[in-house]
Amino acid sequence: MRFHAGWLSAGIAALLLTAGCKEGRSIQGSEQASASDRVEQAQKQSEKAFDQAENAQQEASDQQREAARAQQVVEETRTELAEAESRAQKELQEAQASQQQAQTAQQQAQQTVTEAQASALEAQRQQESELAQQDALDAQQSPQAAEQASEPAQQPMAQAPLPSTPSQGEQLIIGEVLTASEREVMVSVRGEPQLRLQVGPSTQIIVDGQQGRAADIQEGSQVRASYRDTQGEPTAVRIEVTSSMPPAMPVSPESGESQPGAQPPQPLNP
């Protein structure tokens, strides 16, 4: 009985020992499983951290590239702005230079106009003075022409002296009418053809002290003519003709000449 009890005690002890071993092993396996889970979890966390770090690095690189592009845009904008300012400054200088040239040209044009007006006024005064001298010379020559016309023998008109200051651009010829038409008058001096005068609408024709036409000019009449050289052709300005038989009629006051044989007016007695 005691022996059986010993064996039973030993069996119980063995069972207890076996159970203890199993429990120890179970606890040890649980601890090992827990450590493995922690390692795996830590590894996953590490991988996640690495991924986050890599994403952060990529984002930082992208932001850096964006910053570099922005800086480049800023630099390009600054360059374009500087070039635009340079062009604007250059255009402003060119505009100022053009304005100054325009003002200079305007001043020169104004000066030219003023000088031209002064020259025209001086030429007009000179022409008026020459016309006055011409009228005075005509008045002095009228008595001589009257005496020559009253002589029985028709003598050629004596050639009058040229004015001391002839009209600008005008020349004078005195002679005899060789031929005459509506468009031209041939003047001869001492029987030799000297000049073919063109007659135009502006030519003033005086026949025996009266306003006349080219058709009124007779061949053989004494002529005194002033003319200009127009495009190589002598064009008559004024033609004064004294016919061989002058008509006895009053002289136009505008002609400035006296009729041959006419007596000057006598003053009235008071």
* Token digits of residue 184: 């031209």
33-76 pLDDT tens trace: 788 888 888 888 888 988 998 899 999 999 999 999 999 998 99
pTM as predicted: 0.32
pLDDT of residue 35: 83
In the predicted model, is pLDDT for residue 25 greater than 70? no
pLDDT of residue 27: 65
Report d(CA 10, CA 22) in Å as an integer. 18
What's the average model confidence in pLDDT over 251-258? 46
Query: Is 230 within a domain?
Result: yes
More confident residue, 17 or 133: 133
Query: Is 4 within a domain?
Result: no
pLDDT of residue 52: 92
Q: Residue 199's domain spans which residues?
A: 169-246
- Nearby residues of 169 by Cβ (< 8 Å), 6 or more positions away: 228, 229
Query: Is 111 within a domain?
Result: no
What is the count of structural domains for the chain?
A: 1
Query: Is 112 within a domain?
Result: no
Query: Is 153 within a domain?
Result: no
Query: Is 182 within a domain?
Result: yes
Query: Is 215 within a domain?
Result: yes
Query: Is 49 within a domain?
Result: no
CATH, residue 236:
2.40.50.320
In the predicted model, is pLDDT for residue 248 greater than 60? no
* Token digits of residue 154: 């028709």
